[in-house]
Amino acid sequence: MEIGILLRVLIVDDEPFVRKGLAALIDWEAEGFHVEGEASNGKRAIELLKQQQYDLVICDIKMPEMDGLELIAYVRENHISDAKFVFLSGYYDFQYAKTAIQYSCCDYILKPCQKEELLSCIRKIYGEYQRESLHAERLQTFGKAYLERHLLALIWGKYDSEDLDYVRKKLKSADTVAFVHCEISLDDRRFAALSKEERKEQQRQLYIHASLLLKQNDYVIYNLMKYTECYNIGIVYCGFMSQEKGMSSEEWIQWLQEELTSHIGYQVAAYMGGEVKDISQIADSYREAILMRSLQAHNNENYRFNRAEAGQAGSLDKNHKAKLDELIHMIELNDTHKIREKAGEFYSSMMSSGTGMEAINSHMQYLLYGLLGIGYRYDADLNQQEIMQYIRETVFTPENKQEKRQKFQQFLLEYAEYIAQLRKNTARGVFASIEAEIEENYAENITLKSLGEKYYINCVYLGQVFKKKYGCSFKDYLNKVRIQKAAELLLNSEKQVGQVAAEVGYKSLDYFILKFEDTYGMTPLKFRKNR
């Protein structure tokens, strides 16, 4: 028999020689068991069952103070232990056996206990434990995978009400939520020297230790990012996690980073996105955590995103901030003429003699957040380390200002083209989803803006692609779908024209009739009569 963990056994009998005899009768450990306790009656057994977990109780029925049947009844009714029970008795009594079965007794053995009979009994019990353990493991794995699927939908910002409801049901509610990205740093030379398989094993250890620190793994996600050289996990931070330890969120992220580094033995970096009020907003925190990772470039520390400093940029010069906002907008639109013009103006202004290095750094960071924010809108799994390194080493250096100005302009032009390509790739992948959504929800108030927000595509660009792909505007495409559905209703129901118009999404009957005539060359009533 292949033996895994040893199941703990408690022997309960008022006769000491019986207890010793049972312990010595068979090789318990060879069968997957270990005799860990003895008791002379039911009351003493209850004390031991309350102190630690036992898997099997072998118990005499007739005992002073509390007999075996009273013991199992008390244990089951008070939910003290889930241990399996095997009863011993000097004689067979049907009523005893019936009561024992009522309380889920596994077996009933007559004294004197025979070795082969006891072996047969405990082998059956061990087999049951193995099957139950496998079933529980499968259920846990399935449950975790199912939760993770819904949780990832929220993290990526592409979820529906089913995803949100399931996650809220499974995770403990919290006043504040944030996403934490943790990874073993490749800047740790000892870790970098490991083989790929050894690194993956350390990543698994990171996941295990994080789950142990949090005392459950529902809040931990393995290998969230797709980078081939990023050995990471994700953690959904909830406010109660730091409150239970009497810490602020800043102290908690510091504690987490230090604990994981200590347990793993390699340097762990932790990046925490800004706190949000509800799990439905976790995508915002996720993007901020990844922004922090990109901007900090693996300094082997922990970082916490601060929206007041990064997102609002309250310390920026208003004039410069306005220019930056306009420049970022032009990059998203890929307006090459405006990018050259605005980038040149901004760079010259930043590099003027009156601008200090602190102000330059603040404006540069604001620009980086803006650029990365555009990128992550179209692909939440971007790896932009090379871009960040390029900006640091090339764009904002003091020598050869004219050359650097040109390089800065060229970089922004290339980034705009890069975003345009991302947008195209994203659009190709989601147009099937958009078509299906219009087909299903054509009667709702669907707009380019609502579709753009849901699928992270600029609504202006989405409108252009609609025209190119379908040869008509989005509004005309939606009208076409609605009129087709109206025609089907006119042919297959007795509903009045006004009812049909309202059912397919038209508030104005006159407008509906006008659009119907444009499509079919006749009024809805004439269409129904002719068909």
3-class secondary structure, 111: coil
Structure confidence at residue 260 (pLDDT): 93
d(CA 513, CA 508): 9
Q: Give me the tens of pLDDT residue by residue for the chain, a chain 531 residues long.
A: 444 568 999 999 999 999 999 999 999 988 889 999 999 999 999 999 999 999 999 998 888 889 888 898 899 889 899 899 998 877 655 566 556 666 567 677 888 888 998 999 899 888 888 887 776 666 566 667 778 888 888 887 778 888 888 899 888 888 899 999 999 988 889 999 999 889 989 999 999 899 888 887 788 988 766 545 688 999 999 999 999 999 998 899 999 999 999 998 999 999 898 888 999 989 888 877 877 776 554 444 566 666 555 544 445 677 778 888 888 888 888 888 988 888 888 877 776 655 665 666 677 777 877 777 777 666 655 555 555 555 555 444 444 556 667 777 887 887 888 777 776 666 566 677 788 888 888 899 888 888 877 776 667 767 777 777 788 888 888 999 999 999 989 988 889 999 999 999 999 999 999 999 988 889 999 888 886
Query: How many Cβ atoms are within 10 Å of 303's Cβ, its own excluded?
Result: 20
Q: Is the pTM of this model over 0.75?
A: no
Amino acid at 416: A
Structure confidence at residue 379 (pLDDT): 61
Burial pattern 335-365, b for ≥16 Cβ within 10 A else e, equals eeebbbebbeebbeebbeeeeeeeeeebbbe
Chain segment 138-168, per-residue pLDDT in tens: 656 666 777 888 888 888 777 888 888 889 9
Structure confidence at residue 483 (pLDDT): 92
- 8 Å CB contact between 237 and 252: yes
Q: How far does CA 108 lie from the centroid of its chain? A: 48
d(CA 495, CA 507): 16
Chain segment 40-52, per-residue pLDDT in tens: 999 999 999 999 9
d(CA 248, CA 76): 43
Structure confidence at residue 227 (pLDDT): 45
